Structure 1
Amino acid sequence: MVMNMLMISIKDMDKKELHTHAHRLLRECLRPLGIDYGEDTPVIKGKMGKPSLADRPDIHYNLSHADGIAACLVSVRECGIDCEKVREHRPNVMRRAFSESERQLVESAPPEERDLMFFRLWTLKEAYVKAIGIGISYPLNEAEFSFRGGEIVTELKDCRFRQYIIGGRKYVVSVCELLKEAQ
């Protein structure tokens, strides 16, 4: 069985409300699977803190929220999702987390596109490290991405990436699903 459910919501809420809203999205994604998700649902955490449903190891999920946006991904495979509001990027983060070719990709973009390009790359990196379950302890500059037309290009193996630029190019949502079955 191959299944994916993605929900994205753009809402003007504070950070705590967005966190709660992301969990509401998860509840809605799990409902068609017959899973009644709520505060009492048993959740376990992996060694790096990635949560999963204690009673349903066959279902994987990931949540993300940022200024004005929340997103949820549910899959039969390990997965990660990251969403960000496009804002002025921080060059210090780019120097630390991006490869040389990614830095050049951002810097060579038209000035009005640089922030968007930064967040396109950043959210792909975040979605990947969330999918593999180790978070930003992973050397982010080693997860390298570029674009060829509408295609996401990477040498990372056994992963499928998708990206959505929404809200009039104000938000970027990136998704990573590991293609090998989780152990």
Structure 2
Amino acid sequence: MIDILTELTDSPPFKSIFALQELEALTPTLLEQLSSEERRELESFHNEKRKREFASSRRLLRQLAGEWGVPGEAFIVSKNELGNPFAETSSSRFEASIAHTDRVVFGGLSSSEPIGIDVEPLDRNVSDRVRARMMHPVERRNGLDIPTIRLWTIKEAYVKLRGQGLRLNMNEVCVQREGAEFIVDLDSNNRAKVCSFAYREHWLAIAFYQ
């Protein structure tokens, strides 16, 4: 069942919607939700879990669009040249972001501004060696003391916001805590905010430009 996050206290200052749901089985009902192009892409995957992630995420984005009154058949999900998702109708474009775990899919839509999201289980173990590799020198110096997997989701959401994928290493991302907020400065006039919170046994992160 789709679980729309309706009470985000630090939600982005633009029209946006987010939801979390369990990965779905590849039923005929789910497959009917996909466009012909999406079905072709689905068949290119050989891993069953990857197929479930793909189909579940496309259905979730269409459900989110439906919350805004956008008919599913008119809502086309595509990828840009870097592989980042977005969606279009005949008259509108939406920014989108998707994240998965072994059990859930987390999706977000924005009516105008780019977003980046991530999700990981609260109890996922990450080694100290991985933490050392992903820490920025300023984070070490300032003693950024949060669970490693939470920091991972914050940085991953920011990387997705930037849309640079593997070209941006996590140790290049400097996360600073300002009260209850997490900030990544791009330059003196531009910064990104990352909402980070625990929900249904997962860390969720939502990044957007301020």
Deviations 1:30-84 (A, max 9, x none): 113333346x954442221112224466311111111222211111211111101
1:50-129 alignment, distance < 5 Å: 50-55=84-89, 58-75=93-110, 76-86=112-122, 87-102=124-139, 105=143, 117-129=147-159
Between Structure 1 and Structure 2, whose CA radius of gyration is higher? 2
**TM-score, scaled relative to structure 2:** 0.66
Which range moves more in the overlay, 122-131 or 137-146? 137-146
Shift of 1:163: 1.4
Q: How many residues align?
A: 168
Deviations 1:113-154 (A, max 9, x none): xxx711111111111111121113213212111435422243
- Unaligned 5+ segments in structure 1 are 110-115
Counterpart position of 2:71: 36
Q: What CA distance in whole angstroms lies between the structure 1 residues aligned with 2:167 and 2:72?
A: 29
Name the Cα RMSD after superposition: 3.0
**Structure 2 residue matching 1:155: 3-state secondary structure:** strand
- Unaligned 5+ segments in structure 2 are 1-12, 26-47
Shift of 1:172: 0.6
**TM-score, scaled relative to structure 1:** 0.75
Pick closer, same or farther for the CA change 1:18–1:164 going to 2, 3 Å: farther
Greater RCO, CA 8 A, separation 6+:
1
Q: What CA distance in whole angstroms lies between the structure 2 residues aligned with 1:138 and 1:4?
A: 25
Q: What CA distance in whole angstroms lies between the structure 1 residues aligned with 2:208 and 2:119?
A: 15
Percent same amino acid at aligned positions? 23
